[in-house]
Amino acid sequence: MEIDESYQQICQLNPTYQIKPITDPSFKQYGVIWENYDLTEVKNFAHNHFTIPSGPNVYVPSNPELEKCALFGELSRDIYAFMPLEAGQCMGHTSDFTAVEYHQGSEVNITLTDVIMVLAHRAILEEKDSIDAQKEADLFYVPAGTVFEMYSDTLHYSPIMVHDSGFKVIVVLPKGSNQPLKDGLKTHNPRIVKQNKFQLVHKCRTDKIAQGAIIGVTGDLIKITPLKED
């Protein structure tokens, strides 16, 4: 996998942060890059059906039409040992890192644009129930056209855009993940915000706090200045 010139440019524009390419050996503690899949069908579908919103991020956990693409049967076979999957689009203009989440089961992302992922270990939360992402997370540049898996104990959140035109990613998870909880369900785990979605947020996310999310991301926010499109 080749890292294009956008990687050098985003690093130069954000010298405060150490941004590693996803090919860096340190990524192996968080996940796996999966290669040799034909993304043509998925890319064509995304081109014809997905438009990056001008407002807040859009995330659709399960897109039945997208899931008809042959790729997802291959990912079910090779990565999830034939478990049922869901696949949906995540798109927007995120430039900062305001929450962490994890799932029971790996998450696979297919990047349709260049993105930056902020990753850390769940073990950090189990030690002190919070994380300072500025000090305890790693940043990875992921070029468009990458299929990568994040292990279930890898903390992550929304991709961060590399270009100011926004980001576009396909998210794959075990079927039913990130769906709303059924009415009346109660849990002793305050991190649960949706089905198979465990999340903690920064104090700035008053929207999510109002919905019941708890604060667990501390310190200054990671904020990336994106590259300007011509």
53 Cα distance to chain centroid: 17
- The full length of the chain comes to 230
- Residue 227, strand partner residues: 163
Cα(81)–Cα(69) distance, rounded to whole angstroms? 18
Question: Which of the 8 DSSP states describes residue 14?
Answer: -
Relative to beta strand 167-174, strand 85-92 is antiparallel
Q: Determine how many CB atoms are found less than 10 A away from the CB of residue 64.
A: 9
Q: Is the pTM of this model over 0.85?
A: yes
Enumerate residues 6+ apart whose C-beta is below 8 A from 168.
46, 50, 52, 89, 90, 91, 111, 112, 113
Helix (H) or strand (E) holding 10, with range, is helix 5-13
In tens, the pLDDT along 167-182 reads 999 999 999 999 999 9
Angle at 202 between CA 196 and CA 206, to 5 degrees: 90
pLDDT of residue 229: 84
- pLDDT the model gives residue 2: 58
Nearest to 98 by CA among 13, 225, 220, 226: 220
Q: What is the pLDDT of residue 1?
A: 58
Position 4 scores a pLDDT of 85
CB 161 within 8 A of CB 45: no
Q: What is the pLDDT along the chain (230 residues), one digit of tens a residue?
A: 556 899 999 999 999 999 999 999 999 999 999 999 999 999 999 999 999 999 889 999 999 999 999 999 999 999 999 999 999 999 999 999 999 999 999 999 999 999 999 999 999 999 999 999 999 999 999 999 999 999 999 999 999 999 999 999 999 999 999 999 999 999 999 999 999 999 999 999 999 999 999 999 999 999 999 999 87
Q: What amino acid occupies position 145?
A: G
Considering the domain 5-179 in this protein, what is its CATH number?
Answer: 2.60.120.10
